[in-house]
Structure 1
Amino acid sequence: MKRTKAIRKTILSSPVYTFSVIFLTLLILLSLVAPLIPIDPNATDVSNMSQPPSWTHLFGTDEVGRDYFIRVVYGGRVSLLVGVLAMITATLIGTLVGLTAGYFGGWLDSILMRIVDVLSSIPWLVLVIVLSVFLRPGLTTIIIVIGGFSWMSIARLIRGETLAAKEREYVAYGRFIGRSSINIIFKHVFPAVLPTLIVAASASISSAIMTESALSFLGLGIQQPMASWGSLLQNAQNSLQRAPYMAILPGLFVIFTIYSFNNIGDMIKHVLQREV
């Protein structure tokens, strides 16, 4: 109850936080109810190609007459799904590696950090191109690529926080009385690094959405007829003169979604820090 009141107070204290919460709430709800909207995102209508926004088609139509509003909504479903699943994957791997390296140190820390350095040195675009040779471009591939190769920054952050947390008196006391390392890590060290982890996770969602948009824009991500915000931007390249809204609308959704997730991470961090 106290935490709920603190979160509500923090949301209302800043118009930036208020906007971010309202925007993401509406976006998530719209994505969830999208299948209930009686419009087929892949239905073409050659008599209404490239129509501007109107009451009939709120976001207009694309180059083959598909309703652009429902395309953007379904694109948001895919982009959010990629962001959340990639974030979960990257956070789990990064947290495990960071906690292990930071707490145990020594040769294990050295090996894990060298692996992180090697993976971080590989340009993600080169990595995706190589993987696309072995994996078919699509939703599953994009989640594997982004989630499986974006955890290194989280691992570094968690390792640094763990190095500081394990020197605290209550952690030293836990070791002194014979508590197991696993018990100390999850009962004392992990709560200490949680605020940083939450911010890193929210940034990871934003990064995953942006990366998916970039890859789909380059034709290496989501493939037609499935839509994502990135693939919509890629498809809009040939229609910028006659239908600029096809690029502006999904672009604004990408910008506001990334902005909102970053603000939500900062907000939760402030709430947790007040409780410490």
Structure 2
Amino acid sequence: MKSVFVINDNTVEARHVAESALMMAKTINAKLIIGNRLIKSTKSALSYAFHQSEAFEEDTYGDETLLRRLNLLNTTIKGELTDIEEVDISSMDSHKLSAFINAHNVTLLMISTETVKAISGRKLIDYQTILNKISAPIFLIPASWSFKKFRSITYITDLRYCRTDVLSYLTKVTLPFNTNIYVGHMAASGLPDLSPDFAKQVFYEAARRCTHWEHLNFHHIHSKDISTVADVLIHGMSNDALVLINHSQHYHYFIGKQLMLNQPELINVPLLLYPH
């Protein structure tokens, strides 16, 4: 059975991600795996990933363990119960954790932008190393983000390097949301742009090789200015998430060579970071 994986370092950010991960797992019919790093939190407040009913007042559940809270939400939220499993990863470094993720059919690793590098004792989790080694994408969630239906997402790439495996993954994982998936063609630096007609031809040839290709759309990004591109995609087109390929030129524009947002003020939607 496919699974969604979350790393719990007992921070507010981890709790926020875990609640969103439960909603994601429930929607795509996956198991939720919580990897515990057993860090004592210095923050007492809980962050809620979606709007709560009066039954979930923070004062009532603020001292509950994460697993107990997730089990409570699991039984209350509409839909079939999601299997939730806890594992101890406190002794794992980035390499061992990557091997664990690959061995457990993880389809998505969800983390917070606030904790792309989380310290447990003296052990450092390097998420760039993990992304380099795992076969599943990382879903990077802003602290201000609340789980919602994905109406529109854009995969940013140069069409000459557009990957049909990424398109197939996106169409499958977003099928329950009936998401409109855009391939945002942005010519790589040093290469001439494609003519509009040729770009559309390349897109359709790639799209037709994918299941549920009817959800795929095309957008030609002409600007080379990252702040302009982010503004158009996020605010102009109202994308609910952006997709980047690890080690690609576009990844370096937004993320950098290591998994640290270059310009975090520009990004207020999740980023799906797909392995190279």
Q: TM-score, normalised by structure 2?
A: 0.24
Q: Between Structure 1 and Structure 2, whose CA radius of gyration is higher?
A: 1
Between structures 1 and 2, the one with greater helix share: 1
Q: TM-score, normalised by structure 1?
A: 0.24
Between structures 1 and 2, the one with greater strand share: 2
